[in-house]
Amino acid sequence: MRSLAKKPLRADAAAGIGAGVVGLFFIIAIWTNLVFPAPVALGGGGVLTDPASLREHEWGFNQFSKGGPEICANQTSLNLNITLTNTGINFHGFQVIRADTGAFVAGLNKTDLLARGETRHINVDVSRIAPGSYYYICPVAGHRQKGMIAPFVVQSGC
Ligand SMILES: [Cu+2]
C-alpha cells in the first residue's frame, strides 16, 4: 500500500494550497486591523468656532488621518451653528459626548444619519451644556473607532 506522504504533490494541488495560504494571510490581516485598530490621534485639524462647517472627511472618517478638527463652543454666545455635509459614501451622524464618562450630552440629541451627499444645519444651545471637555463623534457603530471623533470644548471665549 502506498503511503500518502510519498505521493508526489501535483502542481494544481500545490497552487490551490498556495492560494489558500495567501487568502488566509489577508483574512488574518483584515481581522487584526478590525480587532486591534491603530490608536486614534485627535485634534489634528485646527480649531473651529461658530459657525462651524464639517465635511465627512474633515469630520474624521479617514483611515489615514484620523480625527477631525477641534470645535470650540463659546459659553457666552447663545448658539453654535454647525453645518454637516456628508461627502462620503456611508451614512454618518453627529453627537456630543462627555470626555470623561463618554455619556451623551443632554440638550444635544444626536442627529439622524445623513445619507451620501446630504447637508444638515444644526444649532447647538451652548447654554445647556456645562463648560468642559467633550468629544463629538459619529454615532454609527464602529465609526468612532475608525476616527470619527474629535475634541469639543465648551468655555468662555474661544
Ligand atoms: Cu460615520
Query: Rounded distance, CA 45 to CA 33, Å?
Result: 24
The domain ranges of the chain are 9-35, 47-155
Ligand 1 centre to CA of 133 (Å) is 21
Query: Rounded distance, CA 8 to CA 107, Å?
Result: 72
Ligand 1 centre to CA of 120 (Å) is 14
Ligand 1 centre to CA of 130 (Å) is 26
Ligand 1 centre to CA of 105 (Å) is 18
- Which residues of the chain form beta strands (DSSP E)? 47-48, 52-55, 70-74, 79-85, 95-98, 119-125, 132-137, 149-155
What are the phi and psi torsion angles at 36 (to 5°)? -120, 75
Ligand 1 centre to CA of 29 (Å) is 23
Enter the pTM of the model.
Answer: 0.66
Ligand 1 centre to CA of 79 (Å) is 24
Is residue 4 left, alpha or beta, with left meaning phi > 0 and alpha meaning psi from -120 to 50?
Answer: alpha
The domain made up of 47-155 is a member of CATH 3.90.1150.10: no
Indicate the SS3 state at residue 92: strand
So what's the pLDDT on residue 155?
92
pLDDT band at 22 (very low <50, low <70, confident <90, very high): very high
Ligand 1 centre to CA of 14 (Å) is 43
- Give the model confidence (pLDDT) of 32-90 as tens digits: 877 766 555 555 567 888 888 887 765 565 444 567 788 899 988 888 899 988 888 88
Nearest Cα to 60, choosing from 69, 49, 47?
69
Ligand 1 centre to CA of 60 (Å) is 8
Ligand 1 centre to CA of 146 (Å) is 9
Ligand 1 centre to CA of 94 (Å) is 8
